[in-house]
Chains A and B, each alone.
Chain A
């Protein structure tokens, strides 16, 4: 069965930890990191990477355009 797998890359130094991507993610993939970047913001990261389907909802709502989204279709289960 074809399955869609996604992944995101967050520009952690550009991220301001506004949390809007965490709220917008329908698959609850994202969380704010306990670590902070050089500006002191807790940046967003994939805490549940297996659930990501690459819908790019996080990237559309990201005010600072920090998120790059990748998506691939796999034929394995």
Chain B
């Protein structure tokens, strides 16, 4: 049997979802953002909600999310995505509304918006990409940077006396009465990619059940910001990020 016999539409196992368009993504090679974009697009296709989904793009690398996933989008000012999502969901309650935010967006400038949106229990899904640094602006220290982790503004490693402790936003959000589903996942291997996809699906489904806010944190890599190859970044994340940000569901009601 030759390769041409195998490569036939009837033998198809996996192909790029049509919800993701053909625009080449601007992300660095091996970026976790691209994997999460792909998973969100696949879930939207599986749930058949392409014309009923509105995404809120953040500020950060993922600001161009609207160029890659073929749904309706709004773009929020830095950190304000949950507030904009609140407005969109209240005006159009029959739509699936999600925000897609990085740690500089959600855990730094948008801390107040995030906490109050979750506390109000808005029926939206929040996808939180935590790579421990400000990726787009050049790898500066973020609230989520690990103790001892090097960044361009902490070249000797973050220290508690100078910068305080890393902020575990997801754990904090799980304490609020307004949230219904709070989980932390990663996309560094196939098993975790599958779990993350399930979590994304559940979060989007929850947004229609009037249960409250769903938060899915995805511990991610930034190979350019961390100065590693994509494969090394995944290993470094597994060894350093995941012990500090343990994976799993924190709340599911």
A-side residues, CB < 8 A to B, are: 5-7, 9, 11, 13-14, 16-20, 23-24, 41, 49, 54, 56-57, 59-72, 74, 76
Contact = CB atoms under 8 A, between A and B. Distances in A.
Interface of B: 1, 3, 5-8, 11-17, 20, 22, 24-25, 27-35, 38, 189-190, 193-194, 229-231, 234
A19 B231 CA distance: 7
Given A59-B14, A68-B15, A69-B13, 5 more contacts: A7-B3, A63-B38, A65-B34, A65-B38, A71-B6
Contact of B229 (A6, A19, A41, A74): A19
A61 B231 contact: no
Contacts of A69: 12-15
Closest 7 CB pairs of A and B: A18-B30, A63-B34, A18-B29, A16-B29, A65-B16, A7-B6, A69-B14
B12 A60 contact: no
A6 B24 CA distance: 26
B7 A61 contact: no
Contacts of B190: 24, 57, 60-61
